[in-house]
Amino acid sequence: MKLFISALVSAFVLATAPAAFAAAHAGGKMDEKVDCSKKENADKDACKKK
């Protein structure tokens, strides 16, 4: 019974590992918000006043 449970847990971990790895290494490209309080972003289109 222990072998069955351990095989089941291992299969679950291996199945979910690629998704977790991809989500953790997305690089923050999900949101394109620019921090306008930083001086280096002052020339960005999102920070220019209309």
Q: What is the pLDDT of residues 6-31, one digit of tens each?
A: 999 998 888 877 766 666 555 555 55
Contact call for residues 16 and 22 (beta carbons, < 8 A): no
What pTM was computed for the model?
Answer: 0.39
Pairwise CA distance, residues 39 & 19, whole Å: 36
Is pLDDT larger for residue 16 or for residue 32?
A: 16
Q: What is the pLDDT of residue 28?
A: 54
Contacts of 42 (CB under 8 A, 6+ apart): 36
Residue 50 has pLDDT above 60, yes or no: no
Question: Band of the pLDDT at 49, cuts 50, 70, 90?
Answer: low
Pairwise CA distance, residues 9 & 2, whole Å: 11
Q: What is the pLDDT of residue 32?
A: 64
Evaluate the CA torsion angle 37, 39, 45, 48 in order and state its sign. positive
